[in-house]
RNA sequence: GUGAUUGUAGUUCAGUUGGUUAGAACGCCUGAUUGUGGUUCAGGAGGUCGCGGGUUCGAGUCCCGUCUUUCACCCCA
């Protein structure tokens, strides 16, 4: 009675090679977060469903993984609940869910611990999140987010620092061709006002976000379908064809949005962020003001970020923004937050596709001890301890086996050195050290071996 | 959630209009080499053809369902 093992849809194992690479990405991100003064935080895999629902829009609620109540989960429900559909049934059989992102649990944490937290509070959080989405390349049902957020300050230095952190991480990961897109929610609102489509604002945003993907014509088509007036669409066209440097775009936006308070505010904030970046001496060319960027509309209220790696068919690898009202839903108002998230799984896919992993060394076993019988193996254990005491990653072949097999093991595992212990070596105390790369073998004392390996 | 698409050995893939015993490469195991891996040579093991039903004298091949993969939409990291 054996069953064919399988994995749930959209979930993956990570083997040793993948783990080495993932850790390389994570370590890079962690170090940068820490350098900017962020402190670690973890929250549980599960939250109360009441914490999660309603925070991500209707779409988001559908993508939440709900967890069945423990024990007799039907005991609280009735036939009436069942008959009135899955929605009313759900609240009776499930009160917990897997977290969907790290921002909402973070907001929950901040509210619950508001009296103990020193504001502004900077935290980073690296954990898996779950979405019941239909999997695709770069889209998984379980994936890691690496968030850094600041709550309790309105300072636009935070926004500038987000740009700095993204740039530093991408530079260290050896990405060269990528764009950090930045926009402002207030600019989007300003655009809606300028073209007289405030009531259709969210339809407008969803459509213009697709501009780089489907082009101006199709966006306009979609807007008309979504019920916008022809005059609004016509008024929008010049807004979408804004080109040039950051300063040039700002200038054009100022002209178009000078009647909108909201638009003016957005422009001013982006200018300030840009000024902060100047003060930092930031000169990176990968940042770009993109007035068609419209993401995270359900809670972002200020600046919006998104990072894409060019020439790779994967969506955004990082995103974020400022949200004024997030802790408000948990009863703490007037606390602004700004943050962003790296999608490590997508970053991994990008690095792999661009062949940027070559410099990641698999830092595993350095020495394997091979032997002939019980006696030489036992002697090998004392050698093994000496190697490990010297800080050398080492192991002994655990079974009695032919040398051929033991050497084959070292070869396949990529172990650079082997020490062979036979009766001769035991008697003389001079062990056979073999360099697996060039095949050279010499007889050395354990001290000489340690010096040779650690000294290199 | 809507519409497509994929599934054959450990892996990557062949498999003709439905026809006898489902193949290859790589990998794996054994030996050539009883104190030595990566090369070479000889031999060997390994498959409920995703799963369940149906059509047929006969199904890896055709039909239906289901799961899985990939892709577009939606949305997102």
Which CATH number is A435's domain given? 3.40.50.800
Nucleotide B35 C1' to residue A179 CA (A): 59
Q: What is the pLDDT of residues A390-446, one digit of tens each?
A: 999 999 999 999 999 999 999 998 899 999 999 999 999 999 999 999 999 999 999
Q: Measuring from the CA of residue A347 to each C1' atom, give the nucleotide at the shortest distance.
A: B77
Which CATH number is A45's domain given? 3.30.930.10
| DSSP β-ladder status, A431-435 and A417-421 | antiparallel
The CA distance from A35 to A176, in Å, is: 22
Nucleotide B75 C1' to residue A108 CA (A): 24
How much is the pLDDT for A59? 82
- Residues A288 and A375 occupy one common structural domain: no
pLDDT value at A2 more than 60? no
> Minimal CA–CA distance to A145: which of A298, A317, A350?
A317
Q: Is residue A144 part of a domain?
A: yes
How much is the pLDDT for A391? 96
Q: Measuring from the CA of residue A308 to each C1' atom, give the nucleotide at the shortest distance.
A: B77
Per-residue pLDDT band at A108 (split at 50, 70, 90): very high
Q: Is residue A26 part of a domain?
A: yes
- Residues A172 and A256 occupy one common structural domain: yes
Q: Measuring from the CA of residue A410 to each C1' atom, give the nucleotide at the shortest distance.
A: B37
Q: Is residue A6 part of a domain?
A: no
Residue nearest to nucleotide B70 (CA to C1'): A136
pLDDT value at A181 more than 90? yes
Q: In what order do the strands lie in the sheet with A417-421?
A: A394-396, A367-371, A417-421, A431-435, A441-444
Nucleotide B72 C1' to residue A10 CA (A): 18
- Residues A390 and A277 occupy one common structural domain: no
Domain of residue A30, residue span: 16-353
Q: Would you state the structure tokens that stand for residue A177, as one six-digit string?
A: 């061709």
Phi, psi (rounded to 5 degrees) for A341: -140, 135
Q: Measuring from the CA of residue A415 to each C1' atom, give the nucleotide at the shortest distance.
A: B37
Q: What is the pLDDT of residues A217-276, one digit of tens each?
A: 888 888 888 888 888 888 888 888 888 888 999 999 999 888 889 999 999 999 999 999
Nucleotide B11 C1' to residue A281 CA (A): 51
How much is the pLDDT for A112? 96
How much is the pLDDT for A324? 85
Domain boundary among the residues A353, A377, A406 is at A353
Nucleotide B58 C1' to residue A448 CA (A): 73
- Residues A51 and A186 occupy one common structural domain: yes
Nucleotide B68 C1' to residue A283 CA (A): 47
- Residues A296 and A392 occupy one common structural domain: no
pLDDT value at A456 more than 70? no
Domain boundary among the residues A328, A353, A378 is at A353
Q: List the nucleotides on chain B closer than 7 A to a protein CB.
A: 1-3, 28-31, 33, 35-38, 48, 50, 67-77
Q: Is residue A8 part of a domain?
A: no
DSSP class of residue A141 equals: S
DSSP codes, A245-284: SHHHHHHHHHHHTTT-HHHHHHHHHHHHHHHHHHHTT---
Q: How many domains does chain A have?
A: 2
How much is the pLDDT for A50? 93
Domain boundary among the residues A290, A323, A353 is at A353
Q: What is the pLDDT of residues A115-133, one digit of tens each?
A: 999 999 999 999 999 999 9
For residues A54-72, b (16+ Cβ closer than 10 Å) or e, as one string? ebbeeebbebbbbbebeee
| DSSP β-ladder status, A318-323 and A142-151 | unpaired
Q: What is the pLDDT of residues A55-75, one digit of tens each?
A: 888 888 889 999 988 888 888
Per-residue pLDDT band at A1 (split at 50, 70, 90): very low
Q: Is residue A396 part of a domain?
A: yes
How much is the pLDDT for A363? 67
Q: In what order do the strands lie in the sheet with A142-151?
A: A39-40, A121-130, A142-151, A337-343, A318-323, A303-309, A178-184, A287-289
Q: What is the pLDDT of residues A355-387, one digit of tens each?
A: 888 655 566 899 999 999 999 999 999 999 999
- Residues A270 and A126 occupy one common structural domain: yes
* Count of C-beta atoms within a 10 Å radius of residue A343: 24
Phi, psi (rounded to 5 degrees) for A358: -55, -30
Nucleotide B8 C1' to residue A313 CA (A): 30
Residue nearest to nucleotide B35 (CA to C1'): A403
Q: Is residue A5 part of a domain?
A: no
How much is the pLDDT for A75? 80
Q: Is residue A318 part of a domain?
A: yes
């Amino acid at each position: 009675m054996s069953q064919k093992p399988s994995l749930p849809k959209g979930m993956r194992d990570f083997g040793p090679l993948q783990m080495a690479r993932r850790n390389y990405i994570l370590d890079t991100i962690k170090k940068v977060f820490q350098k900017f003064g962020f402190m670690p935080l973890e929250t549980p895999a599960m939250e109360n469903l009441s914490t999660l629902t309603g925070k991500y829009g209707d779409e988001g609620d559908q993508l939440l993984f709900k967890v069945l109540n423990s024990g007799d989960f039907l005991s609280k429900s009735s036939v009436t609940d069942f008959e009135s559909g899955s929605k009313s049934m759900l609240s009776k059989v499930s009160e917990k869910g897997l977290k969907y992102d790290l921002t909402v649990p973070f907001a929950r944490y901040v509210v619950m611990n508001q009296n103990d937290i020193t504001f502004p509070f900077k935290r980073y959080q690296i954990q898996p999140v779950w979405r019941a989405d239909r999997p695709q390349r770069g889209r998984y049902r379980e994936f890691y987010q690496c968030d850094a957020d600041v709550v309790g300050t309105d300072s636009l230095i935070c926004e500038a620092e987000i740009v700095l952190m993204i740039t530093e991480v991408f530079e260290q990961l050896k990405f060269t061709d990528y764009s950090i897109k930045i926009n402002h929610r207030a600019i989007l609102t300003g655009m809606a006002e300028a073209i007289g489509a405030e009531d259709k604002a969210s339809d407008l945003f969803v459509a213009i976000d697709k501009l780089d993907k489907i082009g101006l014509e199709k966006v306009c088509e979609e807007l008309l379908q979504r019920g916008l007036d022809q005059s609004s669409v016509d008024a929008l066209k010049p807004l979408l064809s804004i080109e040039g440097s950051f300063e040039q775009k700002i200038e054009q936006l100022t002209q178009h949005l000078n009647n909108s308070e909201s638009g003016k505010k957005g422009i001013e904030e982006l200018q300030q962020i840009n000024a902060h970046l100047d003060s930092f001496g930031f000169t990176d060319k990968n940042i770009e003001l993109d007035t068609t960027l419209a993401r995270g509309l359900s809670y972002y209220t200020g600046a919006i970020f998104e990072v894409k790696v060019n020439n790779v068919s994967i969506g955004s690898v990082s995103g974020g923004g400022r949200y004024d009202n997030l802790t408000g839903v948990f009863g703490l108002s007037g606390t602004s937050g700004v943050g962003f998230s790296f999608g490590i799984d997508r970053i991994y896919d990008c690095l792999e596709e661009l062949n940027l992993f070559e410099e990641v060394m698999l830092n595993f076993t350095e020495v394997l001890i091979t032997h002939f019988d019980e006696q030489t193996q036992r002697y090998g254990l004392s050698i093994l301890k000496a190697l490990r005491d010297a800080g050398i990653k080492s192991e002994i072949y655990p079974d009695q086996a032919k040398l051929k097999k033991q050497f084959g093991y070292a070869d396949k595992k990529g172990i650079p050195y082997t020490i062979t212990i036979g009766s001769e070596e035991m008697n003389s105390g001079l062990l056979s050290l073999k360099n697996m790369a060039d095949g050279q073998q010499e007889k050395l004392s354990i001290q000489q071996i340690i010096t040779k390996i650690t000294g290199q």
